[in-house]
Structure 1
Amino acid sequence: MMVPGLLYLLINNYLPMMGIVIAFKDVNFAKGILQSDWIGLDNFEYLFKTSDAYIITRNTILYNLVFIVLGTVLSLASAILLNEIKNKVLLKAYQSIITLPHLISMVIVSYLVYALLSPETGFMNKTVLPWFGIEEGILWYNETKYWPAILTVVHFWKSVGYSSIVFFAALLGIDDEYYEAARLDGANRWQQIQHITLPMMTPVIIMLTLLNVGRIFYSDFGLFYQIPMNSGPLFDTTATIDTYVFRGLMGSGDIGMSTAAGVYQSIVGFVLVIMANYIVRRYNKDNALF
């Protein structure tokens, strides 16, 4: 019974790791990958010697920190709200509503956002801003100051509902006897959440946070590339490592550079998971991943 799963894991996760060698070669398909010239760390210089290295690293880390912290809070709050809904019909309806955005492709989401922010016909310029007496529309795709908030809102609109299902599943595993005992002692709903729900959910919260920390150097390509419509004026607030590498790859066709970026992200993510797990183990071994 394990064979299909193990084969999938081997083919999809382990065999591709041999491609790491591409990061250290000047790939020439006429020669083949193995026969291409070895150039050492030259491909990594593209990321570290560019003048944009600080911007893309800063954006990638800061956005992900906000996504991890606020995402955990919002997902957990949504899961607790789900748990508090006792009516099965309302529960099913709420689950459908919050998980629907995750099932929509980022292409569709980008069109929905454009329908809101289009300078000529967007809902914000034509309807919302006139309500506040602002007759001149905003060139949203040229103004960098709005986009940290826009990207954050779009990310949470699309991800919080689906992420909350993981917490909701963990909530269902909490024995109702704890809550019954708390009610007998006179605890209200907030006190039950504070002293029963949150402590019982701590291992799941830590586990998901550790996994997210490992991907702090990655970004949602669709969010940072398609939603801003690859607008050049927004580079300072929307460029991340992934989008920068994609632009470089499309411009130069250098897959060695792209592979080097992937290796760099994987190594940093691995180190961060080890460090975060070590810190958790120092305080509570039971909550650590390993």
Structure 2
Amino acid sequence: MANGQRTYRSEFLREFNKNFPLFLMALPGVVLLIAFCYLPLFGLIIAFKDVHYDVGILKSPWVGLKNFEFLFKTPDAFIITRNTLLYNFAFIVFGNLAAIATAIALSEMRARFMAKFYQSVMFLPYFLSWVVVAYMAFAFLSIDLGILNTMILPKLGLQPIAWYFETKPWPVILILANLWKYTGYNAVIYLAAITGIDPEYYEAALIDGASKWQQIKHITVPLLSPLVVVLVLLGIGRIFYADFGLFYQLPMNSGALFDVTNVIDTYVYRTLMGMNDIGMASAASFYQSIMGFILVLTSNLIVRRLDPEKALF
């Protein structure tokens, strides 16, 4: 055992000395990982305590699972869980399909300047805050001054719509807004993978008389499938988390839309602001993390049984 430990230590030191610049470059990332991902794990105990600010977290009384009971016994528990899961499922499916289609379209453009231009234009929404996007949407959807109600709908012979009081259009609006904001960013990831595909595959297919559609179907898509699986698994891991800005800012926090816009994150925020109960907020986050962890393990197990090479781990 001692000899094995010495051998391992000497190999590590040799590797460390050999790649010291790389270890040095990785140091800031490791420090941030520890500071923001591992040290906060101490805060998990908040979910099981009734936090009193005057005595601190450690001396606050334990309450067991009462914070979780508050979350699950609320009449909104089903609505917020349903909305969170269904919206994220739609984002994963439509988001990846739109990103793959966009990446393939950009890769097939012969004018490289225009391809770069379109790529930059589609990437721009990713940098916009949801606050900015919300007011851009308000310029279209405002009841009195919105472009849709004042210019477009009257010309089509339709009556103005109170968009911020009608629940039916909002599932579509939220999905389209998510696609508009993130498709360009996700397309860049897939475009990088397409760029790495060996051109000889396409040359051989072209010699065999394969059309462009056949090349995409039998070469591009299959070679992208491992990346698709990884991104889908990562998306499933966060399926219990919602984009707070999308569901809070875009609907302008309209109470009439809560049935279709209220998700776990927005519900926790509103409850925390109204009740100042940090224990319940921590319980909800703990619940989200555990369920996401279970879903990632389950999904990865299924993928591993179907195709071990595409599994995440």
Give 1:3 shift: 2.2
Displacement, 1:221? 0.4
Counterpart residue identity of residue 242, structure 2: S
The partner residue of 2:44 within 20, 25, 28 is: 20
Structure 2: 5+ residue runs without aligned partners?
1-23
Give 1:251's aligned residue.
274
Equivalent of residue 73 in structure 1, options 86, 94, 97: 97
In the alignment, is residue 278 of structure 1 matched against residue 308 of structure 2?
no
- Separation in 1, partners of 2:69, 2:110: 57
In 2, Cα distance between equivalents of 1:150 and 1:46: 31
- 2:175 corresponds in structure 1 to 152
> Which residues in structure 2 correspond to 1:123-162 (within 5 Å)?
123-134=147-158, 136-162=159-185
Which of 231, 243, 250 lines up with 1:227 in the alignment?
A: 250
- How many residue pairs align between the two structures? 289
Give the residue type in structure 2 aligned to 1:58. R
In structure 1, the partner of 2:68 is 44
The alignment's TM-score, normalised by the length of structure 2, stands at 0.91
1:170 aligns with 2:193: yes
Separation of aligned partners in 2, 1:211 and 1:98: 23
Which one-letter code corresponds to 1:65 in the other structure?
F
Amino acid of the residue matched to residue 30 of structure 1?
D
Q: Which residue is equivalent to 1:260?
A: 283
Q: Is structure 2 residue 233 aligned with structure 1 residue 238? A: no
Q: SS of the counterpart of 1:142?
A: coil
**Aligned partners of 2:104, 2:41: CA distance in 1, in Å?**
40
Is 1:116 aligned to residue 140 of structure 2?
A: yes
Letter aligned with residue 83 of structure 1: S
Q: Compare 82-91 and 16-25 and name the one that shifted more.
A: 82-91
SS of 1:140 mapped into structure 2: coil
Counterpart-to-counterpart distance in 2, 1:195 and 1:44:
49
Query: What value does the CA root-mean-square deviation take over the aligned residues?
Result: 0.7
Q: Map Cα deviations across residues 150-194 of structure 1 (whole Å, 9 max, x no partner).
A: 111111111111111110111111000000000000001000000
How far did residue 88 of structure 1 move? 2.1
1:190 is aligned, of 208, 213, 233, to 213
After superposition, what is the alpha-carbon deviation per residue over 1:219-260, rounded to whole angstroms, capped at 9, x for unaligned? 000000100011001010100000011110000011111010
Which residue number in structure 1 is paired with residue 55 of structure 2? Answer: 31
State the distance in 2 between where 1:131 and 1:206 align: 46
CA distance in structure 2 between the aligned counterparts of 1:55 and 1:157, rounded to whole angstroms: 25
Q: TM-score, normalised by structure 1?
A: 0.98
Deviations 1:115-146 (A, max 9, x none): 00000000110111012112x31111000011
Percentage identity across aligned positions? 54
Aligned residue identity for 1:284: D
Give the structure 2 partner of residue 11 of structure 1. 35
Counterpart-to-counterpart distance in 2, 1:172 and 1:196: 13
In structure 1, C-alpha distance between the alignment counterparts of 2:241 and 2:28, rounded to whole Å: 29
Q: CA deviation at 1:91?
A: 1.5
Q: CA deviation at 1:16?
A: 0.7
Measured in 2, the distance between the counterparts of 1:159 and 1:46 equals 34
SS in structure 2 of the partner of residue 35 of structure 1: coil
User: Could you tell me how far 1:86 is from its partner in structure 2?
Assistant: 2.4
* Residue in structure 1 matched with residue 81 of structure 2 by the alignment: 57
